[in-house]
Amino acid sequence: MSQVKLFASCNLTIRNYRPEDLPHILELADYTLAQGPHFVRDEGLLKHLIRYSHTREGRVFVATAHDEIKGLAIVLIELGEHGLRFGNIVELEAIDVPTFHALIQACHKYSISMDVDAIITAPPPGITSNSILNDWLPFETGVMMGRILSFPFLLEELLRANEREMQKHFLGKSFVFRVDDECVKVESTGDKVTIGKANAEPEGNDIVLTMSHQAFSKIILCRANLLKAWLTRKVKIKGTRNVFSVFRLLGILRLTDRVYVSNADRL
Amino acid sequence: MSRSKAQLQATDIRTRPYRSGDEGQIVNLLNTCFGDWGTLEKWRFLYSEYPTFTESDIVILEADGKIIAHGGIHFRNLVVKQHALRTATLSDAAIHPRQRGKGLYTKLVKARLREANSKGACLALTWHLRGSNAYEHNRKTGFVEIRQSPVYMKIIRPEKVLIAGLFDLLHKNQRLRWALEDIKVDLCLRVGEVEFGIADLLSKNKARVKKGKTKMQIVFAKDSLLIMANFRNMSKFEKMRNLVLLILLRRIKVKFGSFKGFLSLVCESGKIVRFM
């Protein structure tokens, strides 16, 4: 496909992917996806998707301006139920709205040329796409569900992810999480947050949070209201009268933002 | 068959990881379970050629040397505030139709969760249609819904999208399929200029369609697809509410060939609604 200038004012050009684009695309992915929870994009996965696109009548589009990569779209032509042919934009990364618009137009044009019946896309996070996708239908492909496999391990990972906020708000405090039969002690000291096994009986200034595994899952995955959970005794708090400081801790740990899931993640 | 007898039979079933050469049987099983699931090439792309793949990422249940169930796991990192959480996505759980009702799905989920746990994943993820058996099962066994980014669809040929959606719905809902097969009305759907019979979707062998039935036509306005596109992902209550709403707003029109046809459909509508 020849290089087509779609947005003259932005000097935006949509062209086919070249192997030397890959390092820049990885940088772009890190930048555009950083705003919320997302699945990691690494070299292996992108190479895998690009390789597969060649076997599925697919196309990889790259948006550039002033020799800088501004966006990427991978579209696959797939066969669905009862012979339905659809263009699946499995990966779409764009630095801004004009780039997103240009990539959507390129994928749309290509899909129409491939005689598809429908086109599916998951817009990248942070792009307000209402004006561009106003003739597209919001479509639910399936409900994302999660189950916590290891409560101490997940808690440790979430605390590591929020270490700075922990030190800012809970310096010198210690919490004991009792989830079903497991006990974990969290201490925020001067330079780091330490996590370890807790004794059966709480010590001195420990703030003890007791809840079931189900309640912990719902709180962390943002499916339960903290105040409601505390009032209905699904979460029991001992060792402090200021329950709102405990709510703040749980609020820091929970996944409040939507998880960005591209169509490649859903395949 | 009593539950205990069924469970007794399930004890002869062996759980094992994937072995090279299983692909053919696995793809046949997936196509039997999901209709047009796809090709060997698709399975290889999703599993054996996936960058993080190991043989234990595929859990297989085998009886008498034949693969009767398949379940996959993808290990991926979920980035939360620049910190990677190791997750395991459970995908493509398929049980052979003749082996269902023996608790094999539970066995398959447990085996995959064990595997995910042993490889250090702290979160297991799945995607299921709301209201499906797998969704209900997982909800009861500790899975919680997670908010995710939206997906958008641009429909180019509404009639083909509707036919494909209906085909999928009938393939996954055997009882609704039987209820529709039994009705004494020749049900036709129309979107724009395209008209097709439900009988065409129910059976590839059109000769099986009974003749002399009263015709009933359901005409969909193109904008009704806004709601119909998500129909299979709705709860029974939402499905009913939206259908009634679309009929009242005249976005769906129902035309009967005769009064007899109307009466017979009213008599049998209870069964269809029950299984919807």
The CATH classification of domain B3-140, taken from the options 3.40.630.30, 3.40.50.1460, 3.10.110.10, 3.40.1190.20:
3.40.630.30
pLDDT score recorded for residue B2: 47
A186 shares a domain with A130 = no
Name all contacts of B258-265 with Cβ < 8 Å and 24+ positions apart.
B258/B214, B260/B214, B261/B185, B261/B214, B261/B215, B261/B216, B262/B216, B264/B183, B264/B184, B264/B185, B264/B214, B265/B183, B265/B185, B265/B216
Question: What value does the mean pLDDT take over residues A199-215?
Answer: 82
**ipTM, two decimals:** 0.88
Say if residues B27 and B45 touch (Cβ distance below 8 Å): no
Question: What value does the mean pLDDT take over residues A88-101?
Answer: 91
Is the four-CA dihedral B81, B82, B88, B93 of positive or negative sign? positive
Is A116 an 8 Å CB contact of chain B? yes
pLDDT score recorded for residue A2: 39
**Domain C-terminal end among A116, A139, A162:** A139
In a domain, A110, yes or no: yes
Is A31 an 8 Å CB contact of chain B? no
A228 shares a domain with A103 = no
| Gap between the Cα atoms of A124 and B20, Å rounded | 37
The two tokens of residue B180 are 């529709």
Residue A9 has pLDDT above 70, yes or no: no
pLDDT score recorded for residue B208: 46
Test mutation, B40, B90, B135, B156, chain A, max A CBs within 10 A? B156
A167 shares a domain with A127 = no
B158-275 classified as CATH 2.40.50 = no
Choose the closest CB to A137 out of B129, B138, B152: B152
In this prediction, residue B5 has a pLDDT band, given cuts at 50, 70 and 90, of very low
Is B113 an 8 Å CB contact of chain A? yes
In this prediction, residue A247 has a pLDDT band, given cuts at 50, 70 and 90, of very high
Question: What value does the mean pLDDT take over residues A80-90?
Answer: 84
Residue B44 has pLDDT above 80, yes or no: yes
Q: Judged by CB atoms within 8 Å, which residues 174-193 of B form the interface with A?
A: none
A228 shares a domain with A135 = no
Note whether B85 contacts A33, CB cutoff 8 Å.
no
Residue B207 has pLDDT above 70, yes or no: no
pLDDT score recorded for residue A188: 83
Note whether A258 contacts B51, CB cutoff 8 Å.
no
In this prediction, residue B36 has a pLDDT band, given cuts at 50, 70 and 90, of confident
In a domain, A105, yes or no: yes
A106 shares a domain with A173 = no
CATH code for position A212? 3.30.1050.10
**Domain C-terminal end among A139, A166, A198:** A139
Question: What value does the mean pLDDT take over residues B252-268?
Answer: 76
CATH code for position A120? 3.40.630.30
**Overall number of domains in chain A:** 2
A10 shares a domain with A126 = yes
A12 shares a domain with A134 = yes
In a domain, A267, yes or no: no
In this prediction, residue B8 has a pLDDT band, given cuts at 50, 70 and 90, of very low
Ordered by start, the domain boundaries in chain B are 3-140, 158-275
Is A202 an 8 Å CB contact of chain B? no
pLDDT score recorded for residue B211: 53
Chain CA centroid to CA A7, Å: 29
A249 shares a domain with A156 = yes
A188 shares a domain with A130 = no
A104 shares a domain with A76 = yes
Give whichever of A82-86, A230-234, B127-131, B224-228 has the largest mean pLDDT.
Answer: A230-234
pTM, entire model: 0.83
* Helix, strand, or coil (residue A80): coil
Question: What value does the mean pLDDT take over residues B108-130?
Answer: 93
pLDDT digits (tens, 9 = 90+) for A105-115: 999 999 999 99
- Burial degree of A172 (CB within 10 A; 0-12, 13-18, 19+): exposed
Note whether A121 contacts B152, CB cutoff 8 Å.
yes
A186 shares a domain with A126 = no
Choose the closest CB to A161 out of B76, B81, B144: B81
Choose the closest CB to B127 out of A37, A144, A147: A144
Say if residues B93 and B134 touch (Cβ distance below 8 Å): yes
In a domain, A259, yes or no: no
**Domain C-terminal end among A90, A118, A139:** A139
- Among B31-45, B105-119, B197-211, B256-270, whose mean pLDDT is lowest? B197-211
- Domain membership of residue A109 as a residue range: 4-139
